[in-house]
Amino acid sequence: MSEKDLLGRIGKLKTKRGVIETPLLLPVVNPKLRVVSPKELAEEYGCKAVITNAYLLRKNFGNEVVKRGVHDFLGFDHAVVTDSGAYQILVYGDIEATQSEIIGYEEAIDTDIAVILDIPTGGRANRGKAEQTVKETLRRAEEALKLRTRSDILWVGPVQGGNHLDLVAQSSREIAKLPFDVYALGSPTQVMEQYVFDYLVEMTLTAKRNLPVDKPFHLFGAGHPFMFAFAVALGCDLFDSAAYAIYAREGKYMTVQGTRRLSELRYFPCSCEVCSNYMPKELIDLDSEQKLNLLARHNLAVCFEEVRNVKQAVQEGRLWELLELRARNHPSLFQAFKILRRHEDYLEENSPLAHDRGLLFFDFLSLARPEVVRYHMRLQSWPQTKAKVLILVPEPSSKPFHRSREMKRMRTILRRRSMGESDVSFCVYSAPFGVTPLELDEMYPLSQFEAVKSMDGETREYVAQEVAEYVRSKRSCYERVVLLVAGELGEEIASKMKWTDGRPELTVLETGEHLWSKEQLIALADIASQATGTAKHTS
Asked whether residue 492 is domain-assigned, the answer is yes
Spatial distance between the Cα atoms of 308 and 523, rounded to a whole number of angstroms: 55
**Three-class SS of 264-329:** HCCCCCCCCHHHHHCCHHHHHCCCHHHHHHHHHHHHHHHHHHHHHHHHHHHHHCCHHHHHHHHHCC
What integer pLDDT is reported at residue 249 of this predicted model? 94
Same domain, 18 and 149: yes
What integer pLDDT is reported at residue 419 of this predicted model? 66
Of 312, 346, 380, which closes a domain? 346
Range scoring the smallest mean pLDDT among 323-327, 353-357, 447-451, 500-504: 500-504
What integer pLDDT is reported at residue 539 of this predicted model? 44
Spatial distance between the Cα atoms of 138 and 435, rounded to a whole number of angstroms: 50
What integer pLDDT is reported at residue 257 of this predicted model? 92
Asked whether residue 355 is domain-assigned, the answer is no
Tell me how many domains the chain contains.
2
Question: Which residue range forms the structural domain that includes residue 205?
Answer: 3-249+302-346
Name the pLDDT band for 158 (thresholds 50, 70, 90): very high
Answer for the pair 129, 197: CB distance below 8 angstroms, yes or no: no
What average pLDDT is seen over the chain?
89
Spatial distance between the Cα atoms of 129 and 118, rounded to a whole number of angstroms: 14
Name the pLDDT band for 420 (thresholds 50, 70, 90): low
Asked whether residue 394 is domain-assigned, the answer is yes
Same domain, 70 and 212: yes
Same domain, 245 and 378: no
Same domain, 336 and 370: no
Catalytic residue among 5, 83, 237, 441: 83
What integer pLDDT is reported at residue 421 of this predicted model? 62
CATH number of 503's domain: 3.40.50.10630
Q: Classify residue 126 by burial, with Cβ atoms within 10 Å: 0-12, 13-18, 19+.
A: exposed
Same domain, 307 and 378: no
Of 314, 346, 378, which closes a domain? 346
Same domain, 376 and 323: no
Of 311, 346, 381, which closes a domain? 346
Single-letter code of the amino acid located at 435: V
Same domain, 411 and 463: yes
Same domain, 374 and 315: no
Same domain, 377 and 474: yes
Asked whether residue 358 is domain-assigned, the answer is no
Instruction: Look at residue 427 and give its three-state secondary structure.
Output: strand
Same domain, 412 and 520: yes
CATH number of 220's domain: 3.20.20.105
Range scoring the smallest mean pLDDT among 13-17, 272-276, 509-513: 509-513
Residue 471, pLDDT above cutoff 70: yes
Range scoring the smallest mean pLDDT among 195-209, 295-309, 380-394, 479-493: 380-394
User: 443-470 pLDDT, tens per residue?
Assistant: 999 999 999 888 899 999 999 999 998 8
Answer for the pair 48, 38: CB distance below 8 angstroms, yes or no: no
Q: Which of 306, 318, 332 is nearest to 224 (CA)?
A: 306
H or E, element range at 450: strand 449-451
Residue 208, pLDDT above cutoff 70: yes
Asked whether residue 159 is domain-assigned, the answer is yes
What integer pLDDT is reported at residue 34 of this predicted model? 83
Same domain, 197 and 52: yes
What integer pLDDT is reported at residue 533 of this predicted model? 64
Asked whether residue 17 is domain-assigned, the answer is yes
Same domain, 244 and 197: yes
Asked whether residue 288 is domain-assigned, the answer is no
| β strands within 121-204, DSSP E | 154-159, 182-185
Name the pLDDT band for 188 (thresholds 50, 70, 90): low
Answer for the pair 285, 262: CB distance below 8 angstroms, yes or no: no
Spatial distance between the Cα atoms of 437 and 432, rounded to a whole number of angstroms: 14
Q: Is 456 a catalytic residue?
A: no
H or E, element range at 374: helix 370-379
Residue 132, pLDDT above cutoff 60: yes
Asked whether residue 373 is domain-assigned, the answer is yes
